[in-house]
Structure 1
Amino acid sequence: MGVDPTMSSQQILKQLSNHILFRSMHYAFIALQLRDELAKSSAGERSCLEMRPFVLWLTHILVSYSGDILVNLLLGTLPLEPLSNYHDVMLSTFAWYIIFYSPFDVAHSVARTTPFRCLATPVAALSQVLHIERGVHLASKVYGKNSLVPVIIIGTVIGSGAEFLKPVAALLINRCQMKPAAYIKLSTNSKLAIAISWLYLLQLNGSQLLFGLSRCQLQLYALLALMCFKFLALFYRLDHLIWLLENRLCYALFGGLYADLTKFFKRQPIPKCGSFTKFD
């Protein structure tokens, strides 16, 4: 089927994100991440897969629709409305099943290869950019363009909803993970969501910092930058360098350096040679 030349790039990206192949790869990648995390956290992965399939399916559905659920909750609409799309839920369920329970783990082995991850990386980047854009503009309509904090929070939540629902997901698979408690960790994905939300907020208010970029242009540039970052993180561990930089900044600005300097100046002086102590 041909593409209408009068369509904007934004409409083309939205149609692409709703394509069945795009959605299938997106849900398969989420299922792969869930299984890899389960394998790292649980000693008995196979027993967990065999004994608790419904819990794992529920966790997968929760993580797949986490951004939409949280944003609807924050905007005062029905939080489970995204689950009313029966065909999309069935597609997500099918992707989960072939990753977790395909014969001889063929689908899981293929999904862990580098070619599949290279295909899934731009899919994840496009999905994140479109979700953040939708969240920022919905929040600006409800709270107003000048409400900086609500807009940034909603853009961040919809861009990294799975991170904020991890405590609930961990409670669902607590027996599998053998963990006593769940926690929220602001991952690199969440930090990227915060940065992209700020860019959309600046564009929404017509800031000159973006040099007059339109909404469509900003979407394309953000998508390109996010894809480049994800590929660099996949092959060169760029996210580890960002973590090191953040660690150094936290050490310099949030008390680590001050604590070390305090210990240095309060330490006991070393006695000089030839001097007498009270033990002599």
Structure 2
Amino acid sequence: MDPEAFLELANEVTKLKMFPYFEAAHCAIVCMYVKEDLASGSHMFSRKHPLACWLSCMLSIFAGTILCNFLLGEPALLAFKNSNSLLLATGVWYLMFYSPLDLPYKVCKFLPVKLVLAAVKEVYRCKKVHDGVAHAAMLYPTGYLIMIIAGIVKGNGGAILKLLERLFRGVWTPSAVEFMQPSFPTKACAAASFIFVLNKKTNLISAPSSLVYFGIAIFFVYFKLSSVLLGIHDPFVPFENLFCAVFMGGIWDALGHAVPTAKGEHTPIKVDSTKNGKTESGRKKD
């Protein structure tokens, strides 16, 4: 592709309006996750506890903005200041849980539709990460770690608040803490936030900001589609294993377990058989 045409395409991607199509795809994917998390009890739960169902979905949909605002010292309820976005999210929630024959859910689960929704949601995720980093940079110009954290929670706040979202539905799962076993979206948001910070605050990346944004969006979309189609869920795992083996004590722990075992194999152990407190030599003397 011609570099100028590629740069123009990147500029157009950065100017995309997220409302309503990208936000609708995000809402649909999130409501699907909540419905699947409820499993076979989703139908009964949505009928018996509609308020809890709505609250859990709204918390998941706006989790990134809620948590980012809270961490940056702003009102968490500012996430709901846009009535159009709230109405859109409520409409998608209603269609996903209360439509006859679960038709919208089945359509969204259809593989071609699911791929389109997943790709659109990842573009939306890239936008959220970029906005989180940019917002934190305005408040804390030298707080690089704050910018990265803001990008992470803005891009994947739903996973971080999963514990609270399930609690709204009366389910307590303390093992669902995202930081114990970070998912790939959390790691990808961390990497994207780091790159955005480097692009904004240093001269290490000489490419235009629009190209950096476009590259990260392609990264998100590519690995999401790879996860759905090829089952590649976390490409960071091999690098994490190598890092932990070298820098987190993995090699030394393995050597520590291996050395006593080797000694135990080559050192004979003499054990005198006893009976009624006497050794064999003692019985011979008697």
Q: Do the structures match in fold with TM over 0.5?
A: yes
Match for residue 156 of structure 2 among 139, 145, 160: 160
**Residue 223 (str. 1) matches residue 211 (str. 2):** no
**Alignment of structure 1 residues 1-280 onto 2, 5 Å:** 10=11, 13-18=14-19, 20-39=20-39, 44-144=41-141, 146-175=142-171, 179=173, 182-185=176-179, 186-208=182-204, 210=205, 212-243=206-237, 245-247=239-241, 249-267=243-261, 269-270=264-265, 277-279=271-273
CA contact (8 A) 1:30 1:60 kept: yes
CA contact (8 A) 2:14 2:213 kept: no
What TM-score, normalized to structure 1? 0.84
Write the deviation string for residues 57-82 of structure 1: whole angstroms up to 9, x where unpaired. Answer: 10110111111112222222222112
Q: Distance in 2 between matches of 1:54 and 1:254?
A: 46
Distance 2:237 2:44 in 1: 34
Q: Cα gap change, 1:179/1:143 in structure 2, threshold over 3 Å: closer, same or farther?
A: closer
Q: Are residues 38 and 257 of structure 1, via their aligned partners in 2, closer, same or farther at CA, if it must alter by over 3 Å?
A: farther
The answer to which of 149-158 and 46-55 deviates more is 46-55
Partner of 2:276: none
Query: In the aligned structure 2, how far is the partner of 1:192 from the partner of 1:23?
Result: 20
Structure 2: runs of 5+ lacking an equivalent:
1-7, 274-279, 281-286
In the TM superposition, structure 1's runs of 4+ consecutive aligned residues that sit over 6 Å from their partners are none
Equivalents in 2 of 1:72, 1:226: separation in Å?
Answer: 24
Q: Distance in 2 between matches of 1:258 and 1:68?
A: 42
Let me know the Cα RMSD of the aligned residues: 2.6
Structure 2: distance between partners of 1:257 and 1:107: 51
Q: If the length of structure 2 is used for normalisation, what is the TM-score? A: 0.82
Structure 1 residue ranges without an equivalent (≥5)? 1-6
Check conservation: 1:63, 1:169, Cα contact below 8 A.
Answer: yes
Q: Percent identity?
A: 23
Q: Counterparts of 1:59 and 1:204 in 2: how far apart (Å)? A: 35
CA distance in 1, matches of 2:11, 2:111: 29
